[in-house]
């Protein structure tokens, strides 16, 4: 499934939930299954496709076939309806191995790319190396 940055922004601004006292999350999240490009390591950039598991105004849950280190900086690229890319910088806050050689990754956004003032400024769609495709997970993962 392809999802545009504008759709993500609208969806996240519409979320309402009752917060539990025990909930440590800064923002409510919504389950989502979509592929996006992720760029790792600013020093040696490598692009790969990852699955979004869930997303909130403050971060994103990803599914990837490679392990990432806590503290790593990554960039998630969301396409926009006008054929640009919204590049969102994130910090990896956890990475857990799950069955079938996948990793469940939690990443916190730098700033508020989908905040109340709308989307961050997208960049023109440039020719980039094709991302490494990731297979569809053959397991059911709870949100």
Give the C-alpha separation, 91 to 26, whole Å: 15
CA 25 to chain centre: 16
Q: Which band of pLDDT confidence, cut at 50, 70 and 90, is reported for residue 15?
A: low
Give the C-alpha separation, 82 to 85, whole Å: 9
CA atoms within 13 A on the CB side of 4: 9
pLDDT in tens, 82-103: 888 888 899 999 999 998 889 9
- Return the H-helix or E-strand segment holding 94: strand 84-98
How much is the pTM? 0.69
- Return the H-helix or E-strand segment holding 6: helix 5-14
Mean pLDDT of 55-80: 90
pLDDT given for residue 127 in this prediction: 43
pLDDT in tens, 105-128: 999 988 877 765 555 555 554 444
pLDDT in tens, 19-66: 554 455 566 677 788 899 999 876 778 899 999 999 888 889 999 999
């Amino acid at each position: 499934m392809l999802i545009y940055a504008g759709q993500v922004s609208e969806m996240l601004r519409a979320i309402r939930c009752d917060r539990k006292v025990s909930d440590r999350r800064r923002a409510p999240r919504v389950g989502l299954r979509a592929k996006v490009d992720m760029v790792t390591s600013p020093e040696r950039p490598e692009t790969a496709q990852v699955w979004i598991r869930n997303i909130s105004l403050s971060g994103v849950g990803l599914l990837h076939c490679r392990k990432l280190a806590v503290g790593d900086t990554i960039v998630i690229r969301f396409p926009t309806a006008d054929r640009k890319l919204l590049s969102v910088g994130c910090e990896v806050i956890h990475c857990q191995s799950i069955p079938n050689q996948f990793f469940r990754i939690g990443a916190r956004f730098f700033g508020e790319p989908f905040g109340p003032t709308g989307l961050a400024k997208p960049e023109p769609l440039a020719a980039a190396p094709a991302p490494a495709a990731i297979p569809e997970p053959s397991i059911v993962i709870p949100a």
